[in-house]
Structure formats: C-alpha cells, structure tokens
Structure 1
Amino acid sequence: MREAPRRAYTARLCAPEAAPRPTGTATLTERQTTLLSYAAAFALGLGLALWVFPIDFLFPRAGQAWRPAGDAAQHMVAQRYLIADAWGWPPTFAGNLNTQEGGMNTAFADSIPLLALLLKMLRGWLPEGFHGIGLFYGLAWLAQPIAAVFALRSAGERRLLPAIGIALAASSMPAWIGRFGHAALCGHFLLLLGLGLYLRLVTRPSVALWIAAALLQVATLLVHPYLAAMTLALLGAVPATRLLRGEAFLGPALAVAASFGLVLGVMAGFGYLGAQGDGGYGQFALNLLSPVWPAGSLLSGWPWSPQLDATGHGGWEGYNWLGAGLLGALVLGLLLRPRFAWRRLGRHAGLAVVLLGLTALAVSFQVGFGTRIVLDLGPPPAALEQFRASGRFFWPVAYALLLAGMVLLARVRPVLCLAAGLLQFADATPLRAAIADWAQARPAWTVEAPALRAELASAGSLTLLPSWTCLTHADAATYPQLLEVLVLASERAVPASTMYVARWRTPPACRDQALAAAPLAPGELRLILPAAQDSLAPLVPDSEARCRPIGALLACR
C-alpha cells in the first residue's frame, strides 16, 4: 500500500519543472521535442566528426603516403591483423601477429574488438588495409551528444533547450577530447548511456531495460575493460540507491549479479582472465586540483599540456578539467536551487556513494595536490595493480556532475542550460583545435616506406629485430621505428614475429639472438633495426650475401 505514494513522490521529484505555456503561441508536442532533441544532437555530433576528422582518417586504406603515430598506430596494427586472420577461438586472437609467442590476443593491444569483429565479418567488402580505428573516433564523436541527451531525458528533463545545452557541453568535455591519442578510451558515450540506464532502472525498471543494461556491459567490455569497470559500477548503484531509499533492492541486486556474471563469462571466453600487466597503481592518478585546474581552457589561456603531476609519471591519465560551462552550471544551480539539489542527492545516495568510491580509486593511495604528494597511504592491495591508469575512474563522476548541473539549471530557466552548453563549447576551443591538428597531420615516414612495401609484398613472414620484449627504456628511439614497420606489414597482414601488448598471460622472454642466428626460412624477410645491427647482424647465417640495407634498416632474405 505504501508503494503507490512513494512512486508518486518519485515521479514528482524526477519530473522537470513545467515551463509556462505562452498564450496564443504554438507549443511543441512531447514527440516533436523528442525528435528535435535527438536530431539536434545527431547533427552536432555528425558536424563535429566531419570537421575534426578527414575522410582518409575515418576510412583508411593501404598505401597511404603518411604514417600514423603513437598509440593509434599500435591499435591499428592489432585490428588489421585480427580482421585479416582466420576465425578462431577466442575470437580476438590473431595467430599471424607476435608469431614468436604463438600469436596474441589483440584485445590486449586495444583493438576495439566490438568494432573489429564486425569489420571482420565484412572484410570481403573492405578495401585492402582498412581498419576501424579512425572510424571509431568518428562514431564516438557522433554518439557523445546523443548519449548525453538520453541521460538528461532519463533524469526527467525532456525540454529542448536543456537537451541542446547538454549536447554541446558533453561534446566539449576536456577529459574526453584529450583522449585523442587512444581511440577505445574515447568511448565516453558508453558512460553516458550507463548513467541514463541507472536513472531509468532506479525509477522505472523493466525486463527490457535490464537486458539493455547487461548488453551494454558486454559491449563496453569489448571496447575497453576500463570503461566496462565504470559502467558496471554505475549499474551497481541501482540496488545501492534502492537500499538506501528503503525500497526493494534484492531483485536489482540479483540482476546486477547476473550482468556481472555475463561479463565474467565473456572475459573468460575471450581470454581476458589471467592476464597481467606492468602494474603501477597510483603512478597515473587523479590530482586533487585537476578537476578545477583550467588546463586547455580558452578562458584561462593555459595550455592543456603538460598536465598537473605530483607522481613524476606525467599527469595525462589524471587530466580531468571539468570545463567552465560545467562548473558554472553546477555552482549556479546549487546557489539557486539548493533544496532541490539536496533532495535529489538524497534520492540518489547509492549513486553518490559509488561516485565517491570511483573518485577515491582515481586519486589512489598517493594523493597529489598540485606538484606535491600530500598523503601517502603506503603500498596498495595487489588487486589494484590492475588499474595502473587510475585517474580515468573520475570520468563517470564528471558526467554525473554535468548531468546534475544541467538538471539544476533547467529548474531555474531552460535557456540557462543552453548558455552553459555554449560556454563549455567555447571554452574547449583549444582542445578541439588540438585534436583536429592531430587528425589532419600527415607526418612523413621515417623508414623507406616504398622500398619496404615492395619487400613485404613478396614476403611470406616478417622477423623484426629487436623484438619488442628485448627493448629497454634506453631504446626509446627504436619504438617508433619498430611500430612503423609493423604498420607497413599490417597493410597485407604479413605474419610478424613481434608486437607490443599491454598485458600477457606468460611474461614474454627475449630470444633475439636465437632468432637472428636461425637459418632464414623460405619467404622470410628478416629486418634488423639500427639499434640491434651491431649485435645481431653478424649472427645471421651468410649475412654478407643475404642482407642489404633499406635506408637505415638491414633486410635479409
């Protein structure tokens, strides 16, 4: 008997303040408002994606005269090899890459398996050398404002101006734009979808919504495990909120457990479990000043890099400037609607607890404030070593704050949401310019690309020396060279002996001397980079007759 009044109270609390109807003027129906809200978000996302990313970046092919660089090149190589390889199990395994280790699970090279496996099904219609890394950037920029509108409407605010405002603001989140070196981690739209599903499951749960939430967890895992950990935390806030409200929570808790079990099953089937990395939890943490430190802000005029760093490992992973529009919306909303904000916080206490936990995880055991460590809690538990880049865990908190600010402003005047969105959009101008410059850059190859392409065209396999596992920090100049050669080899997916991976099941071993001294196999192309030529070239059988220089590289056939 008490449930009906409680639902009525919840509906009143979640519903937006009714906008006054102007006399004698036409008003939009709810359906028209919905269509216009999503259409505006779609147009914004599409326009930004096409403005930032050139067509040959979104839809690449083999033979390009310029080289990709950094993490994007690594992800591209892994995805190309996965698309070209035969189907097997786990589906993310590529036997033609890192062949000296017996192949590799490309999920550990951030190949965005969700998209890669779809492209693999379509590979017969794709141009040679196509990969979906650039395409994912475009899809992420398209989806970001649409997912923000979904989250806002899930919070009960369904008017047009707030929808446009949050679409503009979400498309201008500094931490999101600043991820442009890492394609998979640009999938912040998944976090906004996770927030939206939390809000709907707390107030209007249904079987269909729970199924959608479970599928979102799997899809997010197949984009990037860090994002999946965040969306799972948001889903776990549903039973937590209902528990703290004094409402039935056992059913939602079981549904969350089932979703978690589904994710674990996919992780086991796709070979995620049992892998380990370098560790280092706390090295790449959230600085306490980072959310309010206006690096990259147009209004402050400060460059976005270098970021705040108290650990000595760089502050990029902890970069989380919230943006002038978001902070303005939040502060103004709290000043003008403090009671409403307090009631909303109480109604979503479980989410607040989860967000506080994510913030603590992001800050880590070494608490940085500016350039200093102000609190050191000692060695973290071993389980946390899996979260080396802990600063990322603040991202859901930032989007929850954006949502809260927009809902509060909408209670005052919907046009204020539009103003906040425009302010956020303008403030992020330097960051958009940085990613546009990066995407439109056409750096020249540092290796002899045409000659290497000709050699690789007739090669049956590629042995690349030194192997990635034999490099040290002193060989920093060799990393980009090795990656460039792999990018060229990936155009035809020539079986390659080595590849960088962030995680592994068995710690990789350095066997370069044995690889160099082995007899050359029929069709093998053995490439020795400058850093290893003095030590490894003399080991190649009959090297004087079989090896010749291609630029700075030594090619043996």
Structure 2
Amino acid sequence: MRVLSQRLSTTLSYAFALLLGAALAAWILPPEMLVPRAGAGFAPQGDAAQHAIAQRYFIGDAWRWPPLLAANILPPEGLNIAFSDGIPLLALPIKALRALLPDGFHGIGLWYAIAWTLQPVAAVWCLRGTGERRLLPAVAIALAASAMPAFINRYGHAALTGHFTILAGLGLYLRLVRAPSVALWGAAVIASVATLLVHPYLAAMVLALLGAVPATLLLRGDRRWIGAAAGVAACAAGVGGTMAAFGYLGAQGDGGYGDFALNLLSPVWPYRSWVLGGFAAREIDATGHGGWEGYNWLGLGLVAGLLAVAVLAPRQALEVLRRHAGLALVLAGLTAIAVSFRLGVGEAVVLDLGKPPGFLEQFRASGRFFWPVGLAMLVATVALLARLPRIGVPLVLALGVAQFADAQPNRQAMHDWAHLREPWTVDAPALRRLLAGAESVAVFPTWPCVPKPDTFGDHVRQLQVLSLAAERPVPANTMYVARWRGERPRCDDATAMARPIAPGELRIILPGARQAAMAAGACTEVGDILACRRP
C-alpha cells in the first residue's frame, strides 16, 4: 500500500508540473511563434531575429563538418550557429527533419515552449533529489520555479531560457553525493554536452555544479571523492571534445567583464514584482550598462521563505551548509564571478579591483552566474521548510503561491512580447520579390561597419533584410554574431562595394552606406534603401 501511495505521489507530482509548464507555454506563446513559416507579415525583433536567421540558414544548408557550420552565410568561412546562439541541440534534429517541416521553419519559438514546459518538471525532479517526495511540496516548487524572475525575464534570448538545465545539474549533484554510480555519471556527461549545445554559459554553470560533487565528498571525508573527480573529468572531457569537434574552440567576444554584472542589491530589488514593484521602477544598475543581464530578483515567495528558514530552521540550515560544503563553496564562487571585479551596490560602484584576468573576459554578462545560486536557494528553502512539523507543508504551499502570483508582471511582459507584431521597417513584399530572383545577397553596411550609436537604425534594417533572405535562404555576406574565431571582424565595406556586382547578386544598400555606393549598378529605391543588381 505504501509503495502504491508513493508511486501515485510521484505520478501526480510530475503530472502537475508538466501540465503547469505546458499551460503557461500555451498562454504565453501564440501558434505562429511555435510553427513559424516564410512570408510572415510582421518583423522579428532583436536577439530573437538573430537566432531565427542563424537557424534558418543552418537548416537550409547541406550537412557539413564541423556539424554546426552554415556555409551559405558569412563567406568564405561560413557561420557556426553556436556563435549566433542558434541552439544547436534543437537545430540539429530540425535539420534532419526539414523535409517534413513548413518552408522557413525554425525552432526558436518551439524552444521557448520546451523551456517553459520543462522548468517546473526539472524543479520537481531536483527537489526529489533532496529526499522530499511528497505531492504538495512538489506542487509548491513547481509553482515557484516556473515563476523565478531571472528565468522569465530572459525572454529576449531564447537559449538562455533553458534554466531547466541548471536544475538538472543541481538534481544530479544531489543524487551523486548520496549514491554515485557509473550510470549517473554517464547521465551527467550527456547532460553536460547537451547543455553546451544549448548555450556555453549554461554549460559552465552545470559543470560548476557537478564539480561540487567531489568537493562535498572530500570535505565530508568520503573517499568516493576520487571517483567523483574522475566523473567530473569525464564531463569536462565530453564538453571539451564536443567543443573541438563542433568548432567552438578559439571563439571570442567583445570582452567587458564587469559591465553586465550582478548588483549586490539585485536579489532583493523587486523590479516587476506584483506586490513590491512600486518600489523599483527599473533594474538596479551601477555600471552604466543597464541592469538587465544582472537582473536577479529572487521573488517574493523565495525571499519570504528565506526569512522563514532563518527564523524557524536556522540550525537545520547550518547543517545543510555543513553537509553540502562543497556546493556552498561553488555557489559562493559563482556569486563572486557574477559580482565581478567592480562591486556595485545600488547605483554606485563601491569597489573596483582593476583589470580582471584575461580568461574572465569570456564572461561579459557575468551577472548570469547567479542563476544557479537562486535556484539552489529555492530548492533548499522548500526542502527545509517542508520538513517542519505541522506547519511545513502549508508554509511551502504559501511560498509557491506567493512566488507565482508575484511574478505576474514578468509573465505578462513575456506574453506581450511574444504577441507583439512589429511592422517591417523595410518594404518586405518588394524585397521578397527581389530576393526570389537572387542567387546571393550582399547587405551594406555589413555588421562590423554599422556605426555606433546606430543613428540610422541600420542594425535593425540589416536583421530584417537577413530575416527575409533567410526564408529561402539566399546566401548572404554578413550576419550579427555574438562570438567569432580569430580577430574581431573588420570593417572592409569600401573594398567589397568597389567590386562589380556579380551575376545573380542582389546588393542591398542601407542608409548608412548609401553615399558610398551611389555608383554601385542598376539600383532601385525600395523605401529608404537601395536594391542594386548587375546592369
């Protein structure tokens, strides 16, 4: 009878989490976002446009080596879609199934649905790793995890909504320190590689959490730390081998570690809180770069839960820290990376430690590294409070409901963003007709040559032209990338525009390059841009 009851609790726990995540995804994401097609009457925006362009070019190209290469854009090297955040983990199976999918299909909207559906499911799995297997605490953590503000607020960047991968890493840690096995470490290797193919930032977080396993066992005096260290080495080898095989190595970005850091007030700064949002009209920022990347408001339910732990279960909390000292050290290290070498408190930098080591420049958006800390706090808080006699379960249910309700402004912001139908700033029908007869498209100014600040809006126009070209896709000369191999791409538009227009080439001249290209060839005005072809 007891076994039957446990199985029922397990089934209902996961069923609730799955239905909750699916219901939220269905409410937030419109059908045309889940199943995009060529010929949309509205323009994709910002980073989401970048991701969709990368996937469409990759899906429309032949299979190549390295496997993530799209040779039909950014000649002669081509584009590794990981450098434009194209979510390779999803793009690879979509490419394999492209014959069955609509023209112009990409998986960016689908990834949002996957992330929202799996977030509460992964939270329940993670909580069960603490030994808490009852239904009502599972309901509480599913509600709370789906409402973590840092998770919801990533809606502009599809790959980084994959916070369920962090919960998976934390759940693996909890199981590996209790009963490590070859099968579990094999799952950890697979999870590490899969997370890399979502986004390298998330992979670094998962590897850090797995690295806490041998640290915790060592600090407990448990000899199994040696085998755990070998397991972590296998995870790192899997990630490193995949990076080498898939063309990640040698990539670099713009640097600027510390520009997008965690402000020390951010975890308690209630921006977009339903209850306390009146006290915080915007993100807190001390660096002058905006506080979006460092946004880490913990949520009303979690903050209240942490206070309840401090009052009602301080000894138990200290015992958990002692038992999981390796994890505590890793989370402290992630917090230090998130804060960076420029310590921001409120709107002021109160401590500047100078130039950081060069390897940290790879983590420009360092504020993201607090995400595992917030999720670990949530899991620990629910697990600790749920064990309190009599009041524990009602308390964690109240925590989950409060967290969920308090996140409504954040959910509404994502819903509104997903349903936004921004008009094209370029003449999309005319450009589609021109692109239909083109063998290639060359857009000027290219991405490295768009002036900063972008007075003419050429970056937006460029993304829109590429979005239209990617519907077929028509081979293109430029792309906005987050990282690149070797030196940063240089602006060399003068040389490129000086060459004659090739047969089949459609040359698009945006306002920022118009004066330099007046003699480019037979040009037609299409709104405020020029479309030129071979005379």
Specify the alignment match of 1:9 in structure 2. Answer: none
Could you say what secondary structure the match of 1:145 adopts?
Answer: helix
**Which SS does the other structure have where 1:526 is aligned?**
strand
**2:82 maps to 1:107:** yes
One-letter code aligned to 2:171? G
Structure 2 counterpart of 1:420, one-letter code: L
Runs of 4+ in 1 over 2 A off after TM superposition: 25-28, 301-306
Partner in structure 2 of residue 434 of structure 1: 413
Preserved contact between residue 116 and residue 132 of structure 1 (Cα < 8 Å): yes
- Could you say which residue in structure 2 is the equivalent of 1:262? 238
Q: Corresponding residue for 1:511?
A: 492
In the alignment, which residue of structure 2 is the partner of 1:315?
A: 291
Shift of 1:511: 2.1
Equivalent of 2:98, from 112, 123, 128?
Answer: 123
**What CA deviation, in whole Å up to 9, does each residue of 1:240-267 have, x standing for no partner?**
0000000011110011011101110100
TM-score by length of 1: 0.93
Q: Does 1:499 align with 2:474?
A: no
How far does residue 334 in structure 1 lie from its aligned partner after superposition? 2.8
Residue 253 (1) aligns with residue 229 (2): yes
Pick aligned residue for 1:46 from 22, 26, 33: 22
1:324-374 CA-partner distances (Å, limit 9, x unpaired): 101111211231122221111111000000000000000000000000011
2:56 to 64, 80, 90: 80
Amino acid at match of 1:372: A
Q: Matched residue of 1:368: which SS?
A: strand
Match in the other structure for 2:199: 224
Q: Is the 8 Å Cα contact of residues 269 and 280 (structure 2) preserved in structure 1? A: no
For residue 366 of structure 2, what is the aligned residue in structure 1?
390
Alpha-carbon spacing, 1:88–1:238, altered in 2? closer, same or farther (3 Å): same
Cα pair 2:450 2:512 within 8 Å, conserved: no
Cα distance in 1, alignment partners of residues 515 and 111 from structure 2: 41
Report the equivalent of 2:424: 445
SS in 1 for 2:55: helix
CA distance in 2, matches of 1:343, 1:514: 66
Amino acid at match of 1:461: S
* Count of residues paired in the alignment: 527
- What are the residue-to-residue correspondences of 1:440-479 with 2, within 5 Å? 440-476=419-455, 477-479=457-459
Distance 1:550 1:351, change over 3 A: same
The answer as to whether partners of 1:468 and 1:498 remain within 8 angstroms in 2 is: yes
Letter of the structure 2 residue corresponding to residue 137 of structure 1:
Y
Structure 1 residue 205: Cα displacement:
1.2
| Aligned partner (choices 439, 447, 462) of residue 482 of structure 1 | 462
Cα distance in structure 2, aligned partners of 1:26 and 1:520: 77
Q: Which residue of structure 1 aligns with residue 146 of structure 2? A: 171
Query: Does the CA-based 8 Å contact 1:330-1:406 persist in structure 2?
Result: no
Q: Which amino acid aligns with 1:322?
A: L
- Note the 1:122-161 alignment, pairs <5 A: 122-161=97-136
CA distance in 2, matches of 1:71, 1:537: 31
Per the TM alignment, residue 442 of structure 1 is displaced from its structure 2 partner at its CA by 0.7
Once the two structures are TM-superposed, the CA of residue 427 in structure 1 deviates from its matched residue by 0.3
Q: What's 1:284 paired with?
A: 260
What is the aligned-residue identity percentage? 61
Match of 2:5 in 1: 29
Q: 2:278 aligns with which of 302, 313, 330?
A: 302
Deviation of 1:417 after TM superposition, in Å, equals 1.3
Query: SS of the residue aligned with 1:417?
Result: helix
2:149–2:407 Cα contact (<8 Å) kept: yes
**Aligned CA-pair RMSD:** 1.4
Q: Once the 2 structures are TM-superposed, how far is the Cα of residue 531 of structure 1 from its aligned partner?
A: 1.6
Deviations 1:499-527 (A, max 9, x none): 01111113212221222121221111001
- Equivalent pair of 2:262/2:370 in contact (CA under 8 Å): yes
Cα distance in 1, alignment partners of residues 209 and 216 from structure 2: 11
The correspondence for 1:411, drawn from 387, 393, 407, is: 387
Letter in 2 for 1:505: R
Q: Distance in 1 between matches of 2:278 and 2:356?
A: 34
- Aligned letter for 2:65? W
Does structure 2 retain, via aligned residues, the 8 Å contact 1:296–1:303?
no
Name the amino acid aligned to 1:433: Q
Residue in structure 1 matching 2:208, options 226, 233, 240: 233
Q: Distance in 1 between matches of 2:106 and 2:424?
A: 19
TM-score (norm 2): 0.97
Q: Give the Cα separation in 1 of the matches to 2:29 and 2:450.
A: 33
Selected match of 1:355 from 316, 331, 339: 331
Instruction: Give the partner amino acid of 1:133.
Output: I
SS in 1 for 2:359: helix
Deviations 1:404-429 (A, max 9, x none): 11011101221221111000000001
Equivalent position of 2:516 in the other structure: 535
Output one character per residue of 1:231-286: Cα deviation in whole Å (capped at 9) or x when no partner: 00000000000000000111100110111011101001111111111100000000
Structure 1 regions of 5+ residues with no counterpart? 1-24
Contact 1:191 1:231 in 2 (8 A): yes
Amino acid at match of 1:431: N
Distance 1:231 1:466 in 2: 39
Tell me, yes or no, if the aligned pair for 2:20 and 2:120 is still in contact at 8 Å.
yes
Q: 1:302 to 1:537 in 2, by over 3 A?
A: farther
How many angstroms does 1:474 deviate by?
A: 2.9
Q: List runs of 5+ in structure 2 lacking aligned partners.
A: none
